[in-house]
Amino acid sequence: MTDKKKIRVELRRNRTKPPREKPWTRGFQAHGYEDEATKSDERVRAKGDLSRYRTITQDTATAPLEDGSADTMPATADAECRPGRVIRVHGLQSVIETADGTQVRCTVRRLLKSLITEERSIVTTGDRVWFRDAGNGEGMIERVEPRHGVLTRASRRREHVLVANVDQLVIVMSLVEPTLKPHLIDRYLASAQQGDLAPILFLNKVDLVEAAPLQPLIGGYSQLGIPTLLTSATTGEGIAQLRELLKDRATVFSGQSGVGKSSLLNALQPNLALRVSKISEVNQKGKHTTTTAELIRLEFGGWVVDTPGVRQLELWDTQPEIVEGFFPEIRAFVPLCSFPDCTHTHETGCAVKRAVNRRQISLRRYHSYLGMFSGDETRKSEE
């Protein structure tokens, strides 16, 4: 009595524009800066996009897979299927955790497996799945639920989903040792926006610096709607707020090495960082490149993921009109440029450059914009 429906499985999400409407730019949209014309254009799917999908048959009953409601069964013949969440992936094997904390090692159904050879991210950390439980600690993934927030990176020019179904990206920067790199913040913010993750900015090691001169920087990000906190893993400043922000959410921690991610994680929950670093080591040895990340359950509710290194957060897609979308305060001026395809680099009558000169857009943010854009130029010339 299985009710079947056809679903399309995305094979290759190549050069697809991310939607521009994102929570942290909402402030700007509320003030009427949103470019309505561009927005609706983006809903039109590019020609040939359909060919990137493959239709497979799937059971229609899709129970909501919230952590708490995980014992809802699909109304299908698959009575022995159970819901769970992928906490890590090793090649074709995944470790699934169910709502009661049981871990099951799963392979994937053959149909899904044939897709994996074409798309490495069919099953990834954070996925909510239905699996057939063999009862001996092993099982088989039968279905992967649609994803929301994802963190991706380009991998041989293909999108590689590092982790799925996460809510927010905690960007950890240190104020000193290593020194603060604002352009890096903007790159992480762009990644967050691309993956539909709410960004939170943590400026760590505040115990080592005078905080007052940081106010303009903090004010700038707060104005963009990004929660920005000063923290110290050493004195405990900001840790209570960190815990509050992480509770019951799935959070990716990212930032260069040495900024204090492990120290902050340990301040949250003893030995948390130890588990994280063990996983990172395996990743860096590099043989199992599909071992992406691990979801780690927080004692006070929620999950964290630590991603090693910055290079993994290279922007997946940096066409100029997309990069401009990462900078709401730049986007606000775009409709005023003389040329509709203005890249805001060399053009005359560019409203963005004019706004930079008038200090309506910060020079620092404009340089970040140029940096991401020239990344695109490099890529174009390779093609």
**Residues near ligand GDP, by CB under 6 A:** 204-205, 207-208, 232-234, 255, 257-263
Closer to Zn ion by Cβ: residue 166 or 342 = 342
Minimum Å distance from CB 231 to ligand GDP? Answer: 6
Alpha-carbon distance of 225 to 26, in angstroms, equals 8
Q: Is 81 in the site for Zn ion (CB under 5 A)?
A: no
Minimum Å distance from CB 69 to ligand GDP? Answer: 34
Packing angle, helices 272-285 and 261-268, rounded to 10: 140
Report what 259 binds from Zn ion, ligand GDP, none; CB cut-off 5-8 Å by kind.
ligand GDP
Closer to ligand GDP by Cβ: residue 241 or 263 = 263
Nearest CA-CA partner of 316 in 190, 163, 197, 185: 190
Q: 3-class SS at 158?
A: strand
Backbone angles phi, psi at 326, to 5 degrees: -80, -10
Packing angle, helices 182-195 and 363-382, rounded to 10: 60
Alpha-carbon distance of 288 to 353, in angstroms, equals 46
Closer to Zn ion by Cβ: residue 56 or 370 = 370
Alpha-carbon distance of 236 to 238, in angstroms, equals 6
Q: Is 95 in the site for Zn ion (CB under 5 A)?
A: no
Closer to ligand GDP by Cβ: residue 259 or 337 = 259
Q: Is 171 in the site for Zn ion (CB under 5 A)?
A: no
Minimum Å distance from CB 120 to ligand GDP? Answer: 27
Minimum Å distance from CB 263 to ligand GDP? Answer: 3
Q: What is the DSSP letter of 349?
A: T
Q: Between residue 327 and residue 356, which ones bind Zn ion under the rule CB under 5 A?
A: 337, 342, 344, 350, 352
CB-nearest residue to ligand GDP: 260
Q: What is the DSSP letter of 347?
A: -
Closer to ligand GDP by Cβ: residue 237 or 347 = 237
Nearest CA-CA partner of 301 in 252, 265, 369, 249: 249
Closer to ligand GDP by Cβ: residue 143 or 205 = 205
Q: 3-class SS at 96?
A: strand
Residue 352 contacts residue 343 (beta carbons within 8 Å):
no
Q: Between residue 298 and residue 317, which ones bind Zn ion under the rule CB under 5 A?
A: none
Report what 342 binds from Zn ion, ligand GDP, none; CB cut-off 5-8 Å by kind.
Zn ion
Alpha-carbon distance of 99 to 87, in angstroms, equals 12
Q: Residues interacting with Zn ion, by CB under 5 A? A: 337, 342, 344, 350, 352
